[in-house]
């Protein structure tokens, strides 16, 4: 991996696992010390959407949406294999394997450690993670493996378009399979709030900055606002773990129980996509980002929908937050593995 001076990861992103861990500790501590404050924040909601969390999530998502260039979709036909891998893994494999692993672990392997209602909520949170392909940190993972930046934009742009139409139906289908009643109105509202609106504002910002076809202005703008994105994420983590503080203290092992199937899912999906790219002789600069995109999750959206559907104090919300904790170290390990095996792929 490149040195810190030349890494595309900024100071906040380089130590994101540490910040997340510290924010978890801070959230739990504050939740125990100031439970009334968190209770007051929890009731600030409209249509099952917490307004404070919504603001933090918008702060998280908006800077990343500015990077999405929908004009790049015209290049989709140039390298169809990488796009095929990404889309098949994201929409035909990943959601269903996540649901299957959730059922396997929490209704069978861990059945003796969690009550049935909590098990259903943990499964629901895992499903929401599985149905939300990453649109944000993907750009970082692609840069770390020196992937094709333009093609990564194509993959992310098409994923976002598909997500607008496919997220709610697939999530509702899988949540229904696990016998959880899903309010379609809330699910649709979450997609509008956390996908369509940020995409629209990102698009308008990009157009305003790029009127003279000066991509440097976009790069300068995103570099300036990127720290706010991470701060929004960390603030959300503090809130979510503050809401879950008593549950975590009462059942600290639950974090490890949730992390176990998430780790199996992450490494399993990467192996499927990466090996597929190798067998299909896809160039490394396309194959590696395709596998990383398939592995990574749009946890901001998953957290938001879990809160909207099941509440701030639910097991589903906790499961999505654990996804934040697991993802960064897992993805960095996969980036390191990809870079070490670069020589195995076509150039």
Alpha carbon 51 to its chain's center: 20
Q: How confident is the model at residue 58 (pLDDT cuts 50, 70, 90)?
A: confident
Instruction: State the pLDDT at residue 1.
Output: 41
Q: What is the mean pLDDT of the chain?
A: 82
Q: What is the DSSP letter of 49?
A: E
Nearest Cα neighbor of 61 from 218, 187, 236 is: 236
What percentage of the chain exceeds 70 in pLDDT? 86
Window from 33-42, 173-182, 323-332 with minimum mean pLDDT: 173-182
Record the pTM.
0.75
- Burial (CB < 10 A; 0-12, 13-18, 19+), residue 218, is middle
Average pLDDT over residues 253-282: 94
Q: 5 pLDDT exceeds 60? A: no
Q: 219 pLDDT exceeds 90? A: no
Highest-confidence segment of 80-89, 91-100, 164-173: 91-100
Q: Give whole-number Cα distances, 334 to 100, 293, 305, in Å.
A: 23, 11, 27
Q: 4 pLDDT exceeds 60? A: no
Distance CA 317, CA 314 (A): 5
Q: 237 pLDDT exceeds 90? A: no
Q: Quote the domain boundaries for residue 58.
A: 4-344
Distance CA 71, CA 86 (A): 19
| Residue located via tokens 């943990």 | 122
What percentage of the chain exceeds 90 in pLDDT? 25
Instruction: State the pLDDT at residue 2.
Output: 41
Instruction: State the pLDDT at residue 197.
Output: 83
CATH of residue 292's domain is 1.20.1530.20
**pLDDT tens profile 198-217:** 878 888 998 888 776 666 78
How many domains, the chain?
A: 1
Distance CA 103, CA 213 (A): 50
């Amino acid at each position: 991996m490149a040195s810190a001076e030349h890494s595309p990861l900024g100071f906040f992103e380089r130590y994101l696992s540490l910040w997340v861990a510290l924010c978890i500790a801070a959230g739990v501590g504050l939740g125990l010390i100031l439970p009334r404050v968190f209770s007051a924040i929890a009731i600030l909601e409209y249509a099952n959407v917490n307004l404070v969390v919504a603001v933090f999530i918008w702060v998280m998502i908006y800077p990343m949406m500015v990077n999405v260039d929908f004009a790049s979709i015209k290049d989709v036909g140039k390298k169809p294999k990488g796009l095929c891998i990404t889309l098949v893994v994201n929409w035909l494999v990943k959601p269903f394997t996540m649901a299957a692993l959730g059922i396997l672990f929490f209704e069978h392997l861990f059945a003796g450690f969690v009550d049935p209602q909590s098990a259903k909520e943990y499964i629901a949170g895992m499903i929401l993670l599985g149905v939300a392909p990453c649109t944000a940190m993907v750009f970082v993972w692609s840069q770390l493996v020196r992937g094709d930046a333009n093609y990564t934009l194509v993959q992310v742009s098409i994923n976002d378009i598909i997500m607008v139409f496919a997220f709610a139906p697939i999530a509702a289908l899988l949540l229904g399979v696990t016998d959880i009643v899903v309010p379609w109105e809330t699910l649709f509202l979450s997609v509008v709030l956390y996908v369509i609106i940020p995409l629209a504002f990102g698009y308008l910002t990009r157009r305003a900055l790029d009127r003279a076809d000066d991509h440097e202005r976009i790069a300068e703008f995103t570099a300036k606002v990127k720290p706010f994105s991470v701060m929004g994420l960390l603030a959300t983590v503090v809130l979510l773990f503050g809401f879950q503080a008593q549950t975590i203290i009462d059942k600290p092992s639950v974090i490890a129980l949730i992390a176990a199937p998430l780790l199996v899912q992450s490494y399993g999906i990467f192996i499927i996509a990466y090996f597929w790219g190798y067998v299909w002789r896809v160039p490394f600069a396309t194959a590696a980002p395709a596998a990383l995109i398939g592995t990574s999750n749009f946890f901001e959206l998953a957290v938001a929908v879990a809160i909207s559907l099941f509440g701030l104090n639910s097991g589903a919300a906790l499961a999505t937050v654990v996804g934040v904790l697991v993802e960064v170290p897992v993805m960095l390990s996969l980036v390191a593995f990809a870079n070490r095996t670069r020589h195995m792929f076509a150039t």
